[in-house]
Amino acid sequence: MDLLQQANVDSARGNVHRPADAVIRHIYLHIPFCARICPYCAFYKTLPDRDQSDRFCDALLRELEMHAAQFRIEPETIFFGGGTPTALSTAQLERLLRDFHEIVALSAVAEWTIEANAGSVSPRKAAALRAAGVTRISLGVQSWNDRLLKILGREHTAAKAEASYHIIRAAGFPSINIDLMFGLPGQTVADWQLTLDKTIALRPDHISAYCLTYEEDTEFFRRQATGEYQSDESADAEFFTTALTMLEAAGYIHYETSNYALPGHESIHNRAYWRGADYLGLGPSAFSTVALERWQNVADYRAYANRVLAGESPVADREQLTTAMKQRERVALSLRTNEGVPAEWLAHSGEARREFIDLGLLEQRSARYVLTPRGKLLADSVAAGLM
């Protein structure tokens, strides 16, 4: 049975409920390998397995073929995340990029992002990725403070991350993102200001600044449960405001709660998520959403490869969304952006809306509602209150 027949059988069994004319314009690919496991990380990740990684790449390409038999895929954005995609060898990454071209037409791709390890970007790997069409690198620096990097269990030092940044810049990528984190155990506002100063001096095109969250099933969560680590909402608010003030003063546009960009460097891929666009997620644990269906692949790279290479579906969970659920998600995600939400989306939430406006958390700008700087600190609570 070929892949198209398999897809048709799946449809006939009622396993899928997707409009035949769905056009997929955004692809995410999850590569779960990491040289070291960070103690705060809740993503599906695992140590590199050199014996299995070629087979794993085979499976990713096979899964893309399976989707291409079902959907029209005309990607505008591709995002290789993880894990650490650059944990794959240069040859493996080159092969993935090359074979993508053979499975789907990539002429409309405007942004191709790869997350890179801040500790081990080689000039050879950077040049190969650029030559193969990658346009954007996201570098997981997190902090320029070696003491905090140690607490985070990161593999790299600040010096190594800086060397990686310069290698990527020299390779000529049109856009570079630096990921940073605040609210870390033992981090002071002065530490955070130094990290922001250093980042601004390097002038990346995009900066993501995330607040540490204590996720279940992580070592940090267990340490928080014993009282060793404590989250502090008022300190987090100060870190957030410090970032907002310093980055805006340096010319970065705060275009989403955790994201800042120089003009023209906003992430097209992430914007598509926030606007509720359909996307396909390939690889173990990856989510996909097409129309009103959401599904997640099995979060185990061996089981994933076994299933896909046997011609079976790697899907572990499916969820049928309703229009109302999807709309609620769109409101919550759009509110986090500087575009805000169209006024008609909040037509039903009159009293709560007026209350947030009176509290100075929300404001109307022509036909849209956007969060005020104070509202940005409470984006998730405002979104919940409006719905």
Give whichever of 68 and 116 is closer to ligand SF4, judged by the CB atom.
Answer: 116
Give whichever of 101 and 147 is closer to ligand SF4, judged by the CB atom.
Answer: 147
Give whichever of 9 and 37 is closer to ligand SF4, judged by the CB atom.
Answer: 37
Q: How far is the CB of 15 from ligand SF4 (least distance, A)?
A: 30
Give whichever of 283 and 375 is closer to ligand SF4, judged by the CB atom.
Answer: 283
CA angle 317/34/212 to nearest 5° reads 75
> Which residues are within 8 A (CB) of 51 and not within 5 positions of it... i.e. 6 or more apart?
none
Q: How far is the CB of 59 from ligand SF4 (least distance, A)?
A: 19
Give whichever of 41 and 69 is closer to ligand SF4, judged by the CB atom.
Answer: 41
Give whichever of 6 and 43 is closer to ligand SF4, judged by the CB atom.
Answer: 43
Contact assessment for residue 295 and residue 18, using Cβ atoms and an 8 Å cutoff: no
Q: How many CB atoms lie within 10 A of CB 172?
A: 10
Pairing of strands 136-142, 111-116: parallel
Q: How far is the CB of 360 from ligand SF4 (least distance, A)?
A: 35
Cα distance between residue 76 and residue 123, in whole Å = 27
Q: How far is the CB of 167 from ligand SF4 (least distance, A)?
A: 18
AA identity, residue 285? S
Q: How far is the CB of 307 from ligand SF4 (least distance, A)?
A: 23
Per-residue b or e along 127-160, where b marks 16 or more CB atoms closer than 10 Å to that residue's CB: ebbbebebbbbbbbbbbbbeebbebbebbbebeb
Q: How far is the CB of 222 from ligand SF4 (least distance, A)?
A: 16
Cα distance between residue 257 and residue 338, in whole Å = 8
Give whichever of 75 and 119 is closer to ligand SF4, judged by the CB atom.
Answer: 119
Q: How far is the CB of 242 from ligand SF4 (least distance, A)?
A: 23
Q: What is the 3-state secondary structure (H, E, C) of 269-318?
A: HHHHHHCCCCEEEECCCCEEEECCEEEEECCCHHHHHHHHHCCCCCEEEE
Q: How far is the CB of 89 from ligand SF4 (least distance, A)?
A: 17
Q: How far is the CB of 105 from ligand SF4 (least distance, A)?
A: 30
Cα distance between residue 98 and residue 207, in whole Å = 29
Q: How far is the CB of 42 from ligand SF4 (least distance, A)?
A: 8
Give whichever of 26 and 45 is closer to ligand SF4, judged by the CB atom.
Answer: 45
Contact assessment for residue 370 and residue 336, using Cβ atoms and an 8 Å cutoff: no
Helix (H, G, I), strand (E, B) or coil at 323: helix
Cα distance between residue 183 and residue 148, in whole Å = 11
Give whichever of 89 and 120 is closer to ligand SF4, judged by the CB atom.
Answer: 120
Report the candidate in 362, 361, 369, 370 with the shortest Cα–Cα distance to residue 343.
Answer: 369
Give whichever of 38 and 134 is closer to ligand SF4, judged by the CB atom.
Answer: 38
CA angle 47/120/130 to nearest 5° reads 110
222-227: list long-range contacts, CB under 8 Å, 24+ apart: 223/185
Binding residues for ligand SF4, rule: CB under 6 A, are: 34, 37-38, 41, 43, 45, 82-84, 140
